[in-house]
Amino acid sequence: MSATAIHLDGHSLDRASLVKIAEGAPVTLDENALQKVAKAAEFLAEQVRREEPIYGVSTGFGSNADKLLGARRTRPGNDEGSLHEELQRNLIITHAVCVGEPFAPEVVRAMLGIRINTLLRGHSGIRVQTLQALAAMLNAGVVPVVPQLGSVGASGDLAPLSHLAIVLLGGGEAFYQGERMPGGEALKRAGLAPVKLTHKEGLALNNGTAQMLATGVLAVERMEKLLDTADLAAAMTIEAFAGRLGAFAPEVHDLRPHPGQVQVAGNLRRLLQGSRLADIPYHLVPSFKTWQPESWDSAELQALSFDISWDWVPDTQRHGREKFYQRFKPFRGGKKHQPQDSYSLRCIPQVHGAVRDALAQAARVLDIELNAVTDNPLVFPDANAEHVEQQVISAGHFHGMPLALAMSYLKAAIPVLASISERRTNKLVDPATNDGLPAFLIGNEDGTESGYMIVQYSCAAIVNDLASRAMPAAVYSVPTSANAEDHVSMGANEARHVLAMTRDLAKVLGLELATAAQALDLRIAMINAACELARNGDAGQFARKVRGMPLPEADNRAVFLAEVEQLRQELATSQAFHPGKAVAAAHAEIRRHLPMMWRDHALDADVASAVRMVESGAVLDAAQAALAA
């Protein structure tokens, strides 16, 4: 393999390294760790020779734990190795009973990496040659077929891990070089031989939390990128609204310093750095007006698909607000005269930040689990003990509740992030809330166009689906193994749900980005049209864009014309209005793949492109490259 190998020692595996294993990196095994593995295996073999009763070695499993293995078979005629070997083999072949679609290869490779790493701790009793065979299978690219449904998360992920181990024995199914085939055939093609298990090795291979941990790690890795993408989508939406930045000021968040909240506020400040749209004076932002043949006098502006307008505030409506109108010109355009934006904009740090904190908690739990021993019983060959029960200890490290609850927290957070994104998308397309942009972000002068109307429907449908899947699986334990395992975690379902839900969250964020890009283009086009008219049109042409012009004989006509001229001069001398450089780079990347929609056109390809850009990270990469430049 061309990828750099990941060195496993049972103590130093991190999430980034596991992702590399999932993506195809081979592994190497630490020699010192292998010495500990050998010592534990030799210790167990000695206890078997001494005929010590040890759970899972010389007894049955689960509800069969009270059944001791005899010195010889009760039923003659079966000569397939010793009873100890038969016990371990049967454990694997009878437990590989998962159903449903198989996990993606990256999930299975991550499961293998986790299992190898935990066995290297030397507390599981597996032999060195068996562990090396497991690593060789991973490095050769043999990927066991592991159906997704079948684990209750205690005793660990028994059934899915049995699907891993059965291929090592030459059974089950596996993918090799992209082809699905019997496990024995995959080993043969890879130049590997099946393994025969001995004392406790079956239990060591299938008793642990590798499925829930693998899916959890991959979900967290994906969520980290999606949270950065959510901040970027929010920043682009703020630009499209010409939003207010005070809510993101550092001194504000010093007063309530939740870590995720502080981080998001800082992200937004960086993403919006250099913006000429954020905090723009209210009166400079025109409102959309439906295009008419007489809307524009110049041929260049006549080609636009919109008209613009302001409302003039006469003296009679300024009483008690004179000081305000000394600072802001008496015109109402696209931005309301209010110092705060709606919650879906103003509370981005609080909402996105809370989701980041949920993710950080999940990551903390997973980081511990990556180098934990999670099978049972645990072997302590170096313990100074009088009885073997003090050296081979049955405990509950296989129980997945720490992971399950961490995943349930994240599972509940995903619909929250999707929901606030959908609310921003809805705010962009609704003329009652989009601060002077056209309804559904399209000119629609003939009443035939829908624009981005139905994009918000898709967001709403996905958010509802995510919310309906957010019920914590961990709160509903279904006992197993004749009530020997009378409380289970359901952590495998929890983590599997989270991984699947991240894919739908990416769709919602992609749709927000596509919608925000459309809105941003319109906002800039409308302000630029106002500036163009202010520079190149005469005073009368500009004045006709202002509603509320007094009659010729009215006393305040001169006041009106003077104030309109002040507005015209301010626009005519303004520097170019543009988003911050990070948002501008992300917007340019979006426009490389989907065009601005001036007239209705088929949106299916645009929507698919927007989702792909989120999944691939292309939009986020463009913004981050701009910030780093």
Q: Are 104 and 179 in contact (CB under 8 A)?
A: no
For tokens 């490095």, the residue is 139
More confident residue, 44 or 516: 516
Q: Is the pLDDT at 62 greater than 70, yes or no?
A: no
d(CA 63, CA 27): 36
Domain identity same for 287 and 177: no
Last residue in a domain, options 166, 181, 208? 208
Domain identity same for 227 and 108: no
Question: What is the b/e burial string over 437-469, where b = at least 16 CB atoms within 10 angstroms of the residue's CB?
Answer: bbbbbbbbbeeebebbeebbebbbebbeebeeb
| Structural domain of 138 | 6-70+79-208
Domain identity same for 460 and 419: yes
More confident residue, 312 or 85: 312
pLDDT at 467: 97
Q: How confident is the model at residue 1 (pLDDT cuts 50, 70, 90)?
A: very low
As beta bridge partners, residue 547 has 311
Contacts of 121 (CB under 8 A, 6+ apart): 10, 11, 33, 36, 371, 373
Of 609, 607, 604, 608, residue with least CA distance to 593: 609
Q: How confident is the model at residue 76 (pLDDT cuts 50, 70, 90)?
A: low
Of 464, 466, 460, residue with least CA distance to 512: 460
Q: Is the pLDDT at 74 greater than 90, yes or no?
A: no
- CA angle (586 as vertex; 583, 592 as ends), nearest 5: 140
Q: Are 352 and 227 in contact (CB under 8 A)?
A: yes
Last residue in a domain, options 188, 208, 228? 208
Q: Is the pLDDT at 75 greater than 80, yes or no?
A: no
Q: How confident is the model at residue 559 (pLDDT cuts 50, 70, 90)?
A: confident
Question: What is the b/e burial string over 365-378, where b = at least 16 CB atoms within 10 angstroms of the residue's CB?
Answer: bbeebbbbbbbbbb
pLDDT at 565: 95
Domain identity same for 457 and 346: yes
Q: Is the pLDDT at 71 greater than 60, yes or no?
A: no
Mean pLDDT of the chain: 93
Report residue 485 as tokens.
Answer: 């395992």
Chain segment 231-268, per-residue pLDDT in tens: 999 999 999 999 999 999 999 999 999 999 999 999 99
Q: Which of 55, 176, 409, 452 is catalytic?
A: 55
3 state DSSP class of 481: coil
Q: How confident is the model at residue 206 (pLDDT cuts 50, 70, 90)?
A: very high
First to last CA, the chain: 34
Sheet strands (E) in 213-325: 287-289, 307-312
Average pLDDT over residues 543-551: 84
Q: Is the pLDDT at 468 greater than 60, yes or no?
A: yes
Contacts of 106 (CB under 8 A, 6+ apart): 22, 23, 218
pLDDT at 474: 87
Of 92, 360, 78, 344, residue with least CA distance to 200: 92
C-alpha radius of gyration, the chain, whole number: 32
pLDDT at 72: 61
Percent pLDDT > 70 in the chain is 96
d(CA 453, CA 319): 40
Q: Is the pLDDT at 77 greater than 70, yes or no?
A: no
* 509 within some domain: yes
Average pLDDT over residues 267-290: 96
Report residue 39 as tokens.
Answer: 């010592």
* Phi, psi (deg, nearest 5) at residue 453: -55, -50
Q: Are 234 and 248 in contact (CB under 8 A)?
A: no
pLDDT at 80: 64
* 173 within some domain: yes
Q: Is the pLDDT at 19 greater than 50, yes or no?
A: yes
Domain identity same for 452 and 532: yes
Domain identity same for 198 and 272: no
Chain segment 400-441, per-residue pLDDT in tens: 999 999 999 999 999 999 999 999 999 999 999 999 999 999
Domain identity same for 188 and 315: no
* 90 within some domain: yes
Q: Are 39 and 380 in contact (CB under 8 A)?
A: no
DSSP code of residue 103: P
Q: What is the H or E stretch that residue 282 is in?
A: none
* 1 within some domain: no
More confident residue, 111 or 75: 111
For tokens 């295996």, the residue is 41
More confident residue, 76 or 603: 603
Q: Is the pLDDT at 78 greater than 70, yes or no?
A: no
CATH at 137: 1.10.275.10
Of 424, 427, 442, residue with least CA distance to 288: 442
Query: What 3 state SS string does 493-551 have?
Result: HHHHHHHHHHHHHHHHHHHHHHHHHHHHHHHHHHHHHHHHHHHHCCHHHHHCCEECCCC
* Phi, psi (deg, nearest 5) at residue 443: -65, -50
| Neighbouring C-beta atoms of residue 284, cutoff 10 Å | 23
**Rounded to two decimals, what is the model's pTM?**
0.94
Of 192, 182, 150, 164, residue with least CA distance to 107: 164
Domain identity same for 194 and 260: no
Q: Is the pLDDT at 550 greater than 80, yes or no?
A: no
As beta bridge partners, residue 379 has 392
CATH at 621: 1.20.200.10
Q: How many domains does the chain have?
A: 2
Chain segment 154-199, per-residue pLDDT in tens: 878 999 999 999 999 999 999 999 999 999 999 999 999 999 999 8
Domain identity same for 15 and 129: yes
Domain identity same for 204 and 246: no
Chain segment 87-140, per-residue pLDDT in tens: 889 889 999 999 999 999 999 999 999 999 999 999 999 999 999 999 999 999
* 540 within some domain: yes
Last residue in a domain, options 171, 186, 208? 208
Domain identity same for 457 and 597: yes
For tokens 């007063």, the residue is 255
Q: Is 409 a catalytic residue?
A: no
For tokens 């406790």, the residue is 200
* 479 within some domain: yes
Domain identity same for 188 and 298: no
